[in-house]
């Protein structure tokens, strides 16, 4: 019997239900499979190397795809430690799984013909399982909520982008920067939705047949999921750096008068769309070489995570300082001027863009 079919049996055993297999995460699935293969190989080595009993009837050693059973004298109940590959093994490490060897030298069977086995001590606690189910349902509700939010944002942002690009009177450096910021928001929302969809498609499906397991653990599934993850991280960084571009433009108009000419618009393009590549590419290389697992969504070594998070925090900090400076200038000019006769064009331009 091939490994794929064995793993289907393993998964069924893990969740202790003959007809329904619960959804499992990619990390648990892959880790459990790896440990199960190791457990099975250790068992087969033991079966091959142990000597046979010298006298009397006994039930033959075997591996039933759940636990490894030694030769057992007739009429004896054998206790085996819970298998270490179980995801909840830490909670049941002191428990045992039981089999009974019949007086005829055959493993006792149930009425349906299956070999009898008592593994109640190795099952996950019902209270813990119910808590995990509640948490899972909460996360599903949370994901639905932010998916609806992203969808509404997509509609409004696309509408705003169309308006900005449709009227020639609105074509200027300031509105070009706005348009790119809106576009970065759109791409970020699309990337998050696509990434979640791929995660659900590849890792959230129910295991019903052997091909489901092979697809979930296939290289193609992982590559597609990782590409979606990379695009999402790039869009998140681009979104923050277009915010940074907005801050620089406001600062230039009000205070420094740099990067303000129309021929400097290309510099904003480099900043918003080019800067994220300086951080995403090293992060991809680090993931490929050091943490090439699953969808790259798990950060076992936080040093690699900081490659793409430090520039976000840095840009956010600089944005905050610039906005505080702009607010200080705006309020100081408002106090120094008569609001009813306010004619400072640059200040009004900055104030409208700031809002």
Q: Averaged over 231-257, what is the pLDDT?
A: 86
Can you tell me the distance from the alpha carbon of 228 to that of 195, in angstroms, rounded to the nearest whole number?
5
Q: Averaged over 230-242, what is the pLDDT?
A: 93
Can you tell me the distance from the alpha carbon of 112 to that of 110, in angstroms, rounded to the nearest whole number?
5
More confident residue, 295 or 49: 49
What pLDDT band is residue 28 in, cutting at 50, 70 and 90? low
β partners of residue 38: none
Do 13 and 66 meet the contact criterion of CB atoms below 8 Å apart? yes
Q: Given the DSSP bridges, would you call strands 62-63 and 96-100 parallel, antiparallel or unpaired?
A: unpaired
Q: Averaged over 153-165, what is the pLDDT?
A: 87
β partners of residue 80: 97
More confident residue, 46 or 257: 46
* Closest residue by Cα to residue 29 from 11, 16, 12: 11
pLDDT at 26 over 70: no
What pLDDT band is residue 14 in, cutting at 50, 70 and 90? very low
Q: Averaged over 252-275, what is the pLDDT?
A: 75
Q: Averaged over 268-274, what is the pLDDT?
A: 92
For the chain, the farthest-separated pair of C-alpha atoms sits apart, in whole angstroms, at 110
* Closest residue by Cα to residue 295 from 147, 184, 196, 208: 196
pLDDT, one tens digit per residue, over 60-93 is 999 988 899 999 999 999 999 999 988 888 888 8
β partners of residue 109: 115
End-to-end CA distance of the chain: 66
Q: Averaged over 52-67, what is the pLDDT?
A: 87
CB atoms within 10 A of CB 266: 9
Task: State residue 286's pLDDT score.
Answer: 92
Task: State residue 217's pLDDT score.
Answer: 58
Can you tell me the distance from the alpha carbon of 214 to that of 116, in angstroms, rounded to the nearest whole number?
30
* Closest residue by Cα to residue 11 from 258, 333, 25: 25
Task: State residue 27's pLDDT score.
Answer: 60
pLDDT at 260 over 90: no
pLDDT at 24 over 50: no
pLDDT at 57 over 50: yes
pLDDT at 223 over 70: yes
pLDDT at 21 over 70: no
Can you tell me the distance from the alpha carbon of 321 to that of 298, in angstroms, rounded to the nearest whole number?
32
pLDDT at 352 over 70: no
Q: Averaged over 24-28, what is the pLDDT?
A: 55
Share of the chain above pLDDT 70, in %: 73
Residue 202: phi and psi, rounded to 5, are -90, -40
Can you tell me the distance from the alpha carbon of 151 to that of 194, in angstroms, rounded to the nearest whole number?
12
Q: Averaged over 222-249, what is the pLDDT?
A: 89
Domains in the chain, start-ordered, CATH in brackets?
3-124 (4.10.1240.10), 127-354 (1.20.1070.10)
Three-class secondary structure assignment of the chain: CCHHHHHHHHHHHHHCCCCCCCCCCHHHHHHHHHHHHHHHHHHHHHHHHCCCCCCCCEECCEECCCCEECCEECCCEEEEECCCCCCCHHHHCCCEEEEEECCCCCECECCCCCECCECHHHCCCHHHHHHHHHHHHHHHHHHHHHHHHHHHHHHHHHHHHHHHHHCHHHCCHHHHHHHHHHHHHHHHHHHHHHHHHHHHHHHCCCCCCHHHHHHHCCHHHHHHHHHHHHHHHHHHHHHHHHHHHHHHHHHHHHHHCCCCCHHHHHHHHHHHHHHHHHHHHHHHHHHHHHCCCCCCCCCCCHHHHHHHHHHHHHHHHHHHHHHHHHHHHHHHHHHHCCHHHCCCHHHHHHHHHHC
pTM for this prediction = 0.62
pLDDT, one tens digit per residue, over 101-112 is 999 989 999 888
What pLDDT band is residue 345 in, cutting at 50, 70 and 90? low
* 106 Cβ neighbours under 8 A, 6+ residues apart: 59
Share of the chain above pLDDT 90, in %: 28
- Mean pLDDT is lowest, of 20-29, 181-190, 275-284, for 20-29
Residue 18: phi and psi, rounded to 5, are -75, -20
Task: State residue 204's pLDDT score.
Answer: 58
Do 220 and 324 meet the contact criterion of CB atoms below 8 Å apart? no
């Amino acid at each position: 019997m091939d490994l794929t079919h064995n793993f289907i049996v393993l998964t069924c055993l893990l969740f202790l239900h003959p007809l329904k297999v619960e959804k499992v995460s990619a990390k648990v699935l892959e880790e459990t499979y790896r440990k199960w293969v190791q457990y099975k190989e250790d068992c087969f080595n033991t079966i091959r190397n142990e000597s046979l009993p010298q006298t009397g009837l006994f039930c033959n050693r075997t591996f039933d795809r759940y636990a490894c059973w030694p030769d057992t004298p007739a009429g004896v109940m054998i206790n085996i430690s819970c298998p270490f590959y179980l995801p909840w093994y830490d909670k049941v490490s002191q428990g045992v799984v039981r089999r009974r060897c019949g007086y005829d030298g055959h493993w006792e069977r149930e009425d349906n013909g299956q070999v009898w086995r008592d593994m109640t001590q190795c099952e996950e606690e019902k209270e813990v399982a119910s808590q995990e189910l509640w948490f899972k349902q909460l996360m599903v509700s949370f994901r639905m909520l932010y998916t609806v939010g992203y969808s509404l944002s997509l509609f409004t942002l696309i509408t705003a982008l169309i308006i900005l690009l449709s009227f020639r009177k609105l074509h200027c450096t300031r509105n070009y920067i706005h348009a790119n910021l809106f576009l970065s928001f759109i791409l970020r929302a699309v990337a998050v939705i696509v990434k979640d969809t791929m995660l659900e498609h590849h890792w959230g499906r129910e295991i019903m047949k052997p091909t489901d397991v092979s697809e979930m653990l296939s290289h193609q599934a992982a590559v597609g999921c990782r590409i979606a993850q990379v695009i999402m991280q790039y869009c998140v960084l681009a979104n923050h750096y277009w915010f940074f571009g907005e801050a620089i433009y406001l600062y230039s108009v009000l205070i420094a008068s740099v990067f303000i000419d129309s021929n400097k618009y290309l510099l904003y393009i480099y900043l918003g769309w080019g800067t994220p590549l300086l951080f995403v590419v090293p992060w991809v290389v680090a993931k490929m070489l050091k943490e090439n697992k699953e969808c790259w969504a798990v950060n076992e070594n936080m040093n690699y995570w900081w490659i793409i998070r430090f520039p976000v925090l840095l840009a956010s900090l600089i944005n905050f300082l610039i906005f505080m400076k702009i607010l200080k200038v705006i309020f100081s000019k408002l106090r120094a001027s008569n609001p009813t006769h306010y004619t400072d064009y640059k200040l009004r331009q900055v104030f409208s863009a700031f809002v």
